[in-house]
Structure formats: C-alpha cells, structure tokens
C-alpha cells in the first residue's frame, strides 16, 4: 500500500498496488479529506511557534490514526485482509524541508510505529532522510517510479507532477533520468482560494479564468532566485507561501486577478523549466491534483505549442493516484533492500535504500 498526504494539505491518498504484475497494477484507491481543524494545525506548524515539539508529536499521532482509518477503510471496502498486505509506504506530512548542506533535514509528521500497531501491517516511512544524509535533496523521489512506468526507448517524455509543488521528470532516450522541483503547483492558488472563497481549491481553474493576469505582479514573482537556480533543486512552503505572495501585493488588486496571475505563474514556470532543460522532449504528461485543473492544463499546452500535452491517464496510470502508487513501490524497494533514489535527480553521492521499516 502507498499513502500520500502532500503539500496541498487536501487529504490522504491511499492505494493498494500489485508489483508482481508487469507493468505494476494499481488495484484499489481511497481518498480521505482532512478536516479543517487538522489542516489548520498542520499549517500552523509550518511556522515557528509555542511548544512546537509537543504539538508536532501530538499531530503525528493524530495523523497516524487518520492514515490507519484510510488503510482500514480501503481494505474493508474491497474485502481484503490486512495480513495479505506486504507493507505500507507512508510518506507522512511534510512540515519542513531544508535539504541545504548547512541544514540537511526534511521533516514528515506521522507516527509510523503507531500506524503499524493500528493496522497490523509493516510500515515503511521516513523516505527522504537517507538521501539527504548522502548529500542529496531528498526530493523529488517519484522520478525513479516515472522511469519504471513511462520510459520509452524511442520517445523523449517529460512527466510533470503538479501537487502543492510542481516537479519535472525527464525521460530521455539516451541519457540518465533528470528531475527537479520547478516551482509552485497548487499551493498558492489553493491558499488564495481558501482565503477569498472559503473553498479548498479552484475547481477547473474557473475562478482564475474569471480574472486577468497582472503583468507587473507576475514579473515580480518570477524574479525569485529559485526559478533561475540550476537543478538539482527542491522546494516547499518555506519558499512559496501566502506571506511571500502578500509581500508583493498592494491590497488594491482584484482577488480573481491575483488568482489568474498565480495560475499563470504555475503554468509559466513549468513550461520555462521544460524549454530550458528539455527542449527536445516531444511529449509532456501531467499528473497530480493540478492535472485536473482544465485552465492550467490548457495554459501549459498554449505555452508548449509544439509538444503533445496529455494526462498520464493516457499512458495507463491515473494522474490522481500516481504519487501514492510511487510510495507503495518505494516501500517494496525498502523491504527488498534495493535502492529507491536516483542520484542524477537528487544529487546524492550514490544510490541508497530509502525508508525506515517498522515491522508489524
């Protein structure tokens, strides 16, 4: 099984996968949204505050119960016994990601030991720390799974995962796999939508389409140094957050125009990264929650007029569940004692076995 709760903070994706088949099969899926109180607590921990250690520990326990509920519901719904599941790969909820050499850590909340107790299933967690210890970014980790599912010997494909943050995987025909975080995905748009509409996200980008891009604002946002840094690189809410956005606002902008600008920012930074580093790619496939944003996908196609742009669904992998699917696979790698990172992506000095194992 794979469990993913990403930067978007919308909820929990749980999947059951079979890796005995070729290609691997996604058997069952289950989505469990976060309640408002849990989401608020997670957001609060992204900033320093009072009694952080206690709050983080209690939130890890609460998340373990949420993850267990998702696991149990998925298994019950499909009449599957827990003992038939080899392991759960649980990414956990990221609240800090600081892989820089002078810091060198990434924190994902979620009590893996408690999850193993609650489900009776072996749990693999803490996937990012070993790669960071080996000098890597600890992210993105999904490109190696993209390679397994999507690489074609004759076609240069790019896979774009649009979660809270957007990351890119290049699957060229004659060179090693390359991947990196390229900028914000949904998180800024979601935060702005939550503030002004009270909705967790802008469905299909409808609200963004009702506004007009603010050229000066877009230009200022695009000047952020992260966008010009060469890969390998990764990022998170430490860089892209509502406080950062507000530092560029006068307060006189129409909210829908800001939303239109944020959508343009996400689309432009994705397209710019592809054109800068993988201009010879002919096919671009989108996955993650942002892949269902019709306004955003249309924008990306306009920005990449000479490339085929489609969802990973067309390659047989549902765009909504791909990341949870990847962490199920990473759990398998850990159980088998096989490396799960790509040094060409993360810049780790060598391939490493990722994850800490909590036996059932």
pLDDT digits 0-9 by tens, 271-286: 999 999 999 999 999 9
Contact 122, 149 (CB under 8 A): no
What is the model's pLDDT at position 100? 87
Identify the CA nearest to 266 among candidates 256, 258, 278, 276. 258
DSSP structural state of residue 34: P
Residue whose pair of structure tokens reads 């269902």 in the numeric block: 292
Pairing of strands 283-287, 308-311: parallel
Computed over every residue of the chain, the mean pLDDT equals 96
Cα 163 to Cα 30, 188, 207, distances in angstroms: 17, 11, 19
What is the length of the chain? 360
Q: How far apart are CA 274 and CA 327, in angstroms?
A: 25
Name every residue whose Cβ is closer than 8 Å to that of residue 347 and which is 6 or more positions away in sequence: 135, 136, 137, 232
The Cβ of residue 148 has, within 10 Å, a number of other Cβ atoms equal to 13
Name every residue whose Cβ is closer than 8 Å to that of residue 105 and which is 6 or more positions away in sequence: 96, 98, 99, 129, 132
Residues lower than pLDDT 70 in the chain: none
Return the H-helix or E-strand segment holding 114. Answer: helix 112-119
Domains, the chain, ordered by start: 2-137+321-358 (3.30.420.40), 143-315 (3.30.420.40)
What is the model's pLDDT at position 101? 75
């Amino acid at each position: 099984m794979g469990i993913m709760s990403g930067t978007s903070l919308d909820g929990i994706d749980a999947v059951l996968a079979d890796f005995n088949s070729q290609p691997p099969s996604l058997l069952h899926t289950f989505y469990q949204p976060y309640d408002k109180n849990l989401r608020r607590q997670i957001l609060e921990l992204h900033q320093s505050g009072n009694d952080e250690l206690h709050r983080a520990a209690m939130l890890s326990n609460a998340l373990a119960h949420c993850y267990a509920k998702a696991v149990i519901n998925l298994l019950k719904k499909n009449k599957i016994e827990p003992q038939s599941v080899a392991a759960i790969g649980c990414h956990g909820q990221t609240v800090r990601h600081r892989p820089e050499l002078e810091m060198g850590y990434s924190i994902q909340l979620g009590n893996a030991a408690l999850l193993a107790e609650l489900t009776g299933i072996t749990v693999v967690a803490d996937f990012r720390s070993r790669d960071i210890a080996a000098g890597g970014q600890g992210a993105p980790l999904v490109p190696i799974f993209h390679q397994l599912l999507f690489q074609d010997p004759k076609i240069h494909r790019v896979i774009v995962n649009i979660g809270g943050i957007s990351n890119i995987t290049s699957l060229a025909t004659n060179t090693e796999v390359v991947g990196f975080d390229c900028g914000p995905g949904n998180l800024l748009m979601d935060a702005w939508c939550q503030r002004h509409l009270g909705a967790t996200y802008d469905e299909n980008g409808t609200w963004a389409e009702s506004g007009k891009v603010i050229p000066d604002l877009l230009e200022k946002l695009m000047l952020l140094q992260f966008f010009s840094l060469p890969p390998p690189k990764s990022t998170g809410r430490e860089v892209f957050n509502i406080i950062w956005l507000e530092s560029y606002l006068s307060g006189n902008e129409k909210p829908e125009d800001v939303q239109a600008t944020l959508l343009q920012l996400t689309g432009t930074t994705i397209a710019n990264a592809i054109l800068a580093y993988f201009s010879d790619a002919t096919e671009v496939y989108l996955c993650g929650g942002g892949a269902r944003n019709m306004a955003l996908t249309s924008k990306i196609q306009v920005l990449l007029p000479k490339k085929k742009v489609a969802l990973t669904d067309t390659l047989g992998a549902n765009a909504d569940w791909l990341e949870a699917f990847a962490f199920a696979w990473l759990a398998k790698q850990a159980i088998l004692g096989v490396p799960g990172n790509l040094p060409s992506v993360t810049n780790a000095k060598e391939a490493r076995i990722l994850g800490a194992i909590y036996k059932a």
